[in-house]
Amino acid sequence: MRRSVLVTGATSGVGRGTALRLAKAGFEVFATARDAEKAEKLRAEAAERDVVLRTVLLDVADAASCHRACAQVAEATGGGPWALVNNAGIPLAGAIEDLDDAAVRYLLEVNVVGAARMARLLLPGMRRRGDGRIVNVSSLAGRVAAPGMGWYCAGKSALGAVNDVLRMEAGPGGVRVVIVEAGAYASAMQTRAADALAALAANGRTVFGEMYRVAEAALRESATRLPDDGPVVAAVCRALFADRPRHRYVVGRQARMGLLADALVPVRVKDHVKRVALGAEAHPVVEYAARRWCTPW
């Protein structure tokens, strides 16, 4: 019997790559999309690659939509999928004091609550089988905070905490819970974050205008030199292919170096480097290194 996997946020980026690769590897893939047009495009791309996957309409920020999607997959699989890949996520760029409650709540609903809700809805079926897997796709931002990205970092940090607790709570029932933490890679998220920073800089009411302009330029420039999402897709698939997956996959040199530096460098020094990197401060000696190693993620 083929193992089934539900992949959220599957119409672009890591989710799309994961869904197509798993389908090629022989998994029964349920790929989620927010609207029918995107779902049709994904099915067409799968057909071009001579693989088969099913699409499911899902908005992870909508509880009713989550219930409908999980019920649909449970019916198709006779009790629910073997695995869940929580990939759906959105960016939110801007200083803490410049972002309103509605934007923050939506970010947390998509990036944290939605992921936890999907796990909660699918865990009973996994427990009944005594076997299952949940892979949460996160970011270096979950463990290394940066100015101008505070709420995004907070959301990824919260997802990491949810992941760790789920690992302990679900493990005795035969469900392995894994987190994939990636450094920066080229994606549409960076363009959306850059556009948001440009809008914040243009409103004229912020004290962080220069920081936004520098960070926006760094985000747009990074798209020309950052690696693609292939290594992240590969890590997600390894977490599903392995009989005994790691608890955590850290992907990319930037992520590994960033975690090491954040652990070893004194707080005053790393705070200064991050402020320089994002244009909140100027320092000619550290500016190049700061922008080379601390491009906003």
Q: Give residue-wise pLDDT tens across range 101-134.
A: 999 999 999 999 999 999 999 999 999 999 999 9
**Tokens found for residue 121:** 């809805």
296 compared with 80, residue with greater pLDDT: 80
For 189, half-sphere exposure in the C-beta direction (CA atoms, 13 angstrom radius) is 24
Average pLDDT over residues 133-140: 97
Q: Cβ contacts of residue 256 below 8 Å, gap of 6+?
A: 183, 250
Rounded distance between C-alpha atoms, residue 250 and residue 235, angstroms:
8
What average pLDDT does the structure give for the chain? 91
Tell me the torsion sign for CA atoms 227, 230, 234, 236.
Answer: positive
Architecture of domain 4-204+226-253: 3-Layer(aba) Sandwich (3.40)
Specify the pLDDT at position 279: 64
The catalytic site residues sit at 152
pLDDT digit string, tens, across residues 253-277? 888 888 888 888 899 988 888 888 7
